[in-house]
Amino acid sequence: MELLSQTESEHLQSASCCFPVLVVNTDLNIHTQMQIPLSCGEAYEGQEVFWRNEGQEIDQQGNHIQVTVEELTGGNYSCHDSNGSFLNHTLVLVQLLNGKSQARKILDKVEDTAVLFQFRTDYIQCTSRNYSGIFHCSWKWSEGRRGDLFFAAVTRSSGQSNISCAADADRSGMICLDRTHCPYTEELHPIDLTIYVKYWYRVEKYTKQFYIAGIVKPDRVRLRKAHGNTFEWEYPSTWNIPDSFFPLHFEVKVAPLNKDCDAEGEQSRVQVTASVDEGVRSFPVSTSSVGCVIFTEKRTFSVSRRKNFLFCVRSQDTLTKSGWSEWEQRK
């Protein structure tokens, strides 16, 4: 068992603003306990000072005392004068060494859908709807263990950045703006995200490193049924311009009417015509999933020889191959 490093202690101290915070590292693989020094404050030196933990009086008195922290037993220690008036308090938190005891995490892993490599799980999921420098990061509280965001730090690994963030109302995420990010130049340094979350007096640290180019997930395309079975769509209104510099490609899917865009079902055979520069090209497709799937950079498709179907389209950054947008659909 040991006290938190000076850098981490300074981070958590800044989060508390106006009262001391002590964080103790502990290893649950062995029985650990540690004597922690507490001080009411220089202003109360020489005065009669009494202490309480969670409102309950403890035996020790004086401006400087030592308390025993055992395994995960932190506490909120307050000091009072002889009349019982509140003077100050110190929050003692406990953190597991090296992230051990995985089954007892405050956060649950979730599938990160906006990453370069799909089907990866992580404790923190970050997405950006475009290259403006605005991104959102979120996490999922473990069932029965609703915690709180205690501290967050977001910087570029270069050390030179101007990133500001605001926590979501439910404290399960935050939205950030990198004021120095330029959409038209290559990102040379990744973003480093660190959050501390706490549940009662247990605190856990989570980190994530990413580039905005790697977490971009466009909004839904603007889809309309032009005429008959011909569909047209436009880039999301939130996407960067010009299109030539920020190209998107599209996944088009024709599914049975009783299915959704992500479903897998019976075999189907459809005839699809796609408008291309040199004319109209037909793609007869036989699939073992939900109808046919086409990848294209065009923005119009015609479906023939089928009366009842569900037309689905979604987009992805052509260059980075980051996350796919949500499906947009029409019947």
State the sign of the Cα–Cα–Cα–Cα dihedral 224, 238, 172, 4: positive
Of the ranges 156-160, 232-236, 271-275, which one carries the lowest mean pLDDT score?
Answer: 271-275
Half-sphere exposure of 48 (CA within 13 A, CB side): 5
In this predicted structure, what is the pLDDT of residue 3?
Answer: 45
Per-residue model confidence as pLDDT tens digits over 110-121: 876 655 445 567
Residue 268's SS3 state is: strand
Q: Is 156 a residue whose pLDDT tops 90? A: yes
**Rounded CA separation 136/125 (Å):** 8
Q: How confident is the model at residue 328 (pLDDT cuts 50, 70, 90)?
A: very high
Average pLDDT value for residue range 150-154 = 92
Name which of 202, 248, 180 is nearest 93 in CA terms: 202
Angle at alpha carbon of residue 262, lines to 260 and 268, rounded to 5°: 70
Going along the chain from its start, the domains and CATH numbers come out as 2-99 (2.60.40.10), 105-215 (2.60.40.10), 222-330 (2.60.40.10)
Q: Is 165 a residue whose pLDDT tops 80? A: yes
pTM score: 0.78
Q: Is 122 a residue whose pLDDT tops 90? A: no
In this predicted structure, what is the pLDDT of residue 135?
Answer: 97
State the sign of the Cα–Cα–Cα–Cα dihedral 219, 225, 231, 232: negative
In this predicted structure, what is the pLDDT of residue 293?
Answer: 78
Sheet containing 310-317, strands listed edge to edge, beginning at the edge strand earlier in sequence: 292-296, 248-255, 310-317, 328-330
Paired sense of beta strands 110-112 and 163-167, if any: unpaired
In this predicted structure, what is the pLDDT of residue 19?
Answer: 59
Secondary structure (H, E, C), 9-26? HHHHHHHHCCCCEEEEEE
State the sign of the Cα–Cα–Cα–Cα dihedral 27, 28, 31, 35: positive
Q: Is 200 a residue whose pLDDT tops 50? A: yes
Asked if residues 137 and 208 have their Cβ atoms less than 8 Å apart, the reply is: yes
Q: How confident is the model at residue 304 (pLDDT cuts 50, 70, 90)?
A: confident
Q: Is 102 a residue whose pLDDT tops 60? A: no
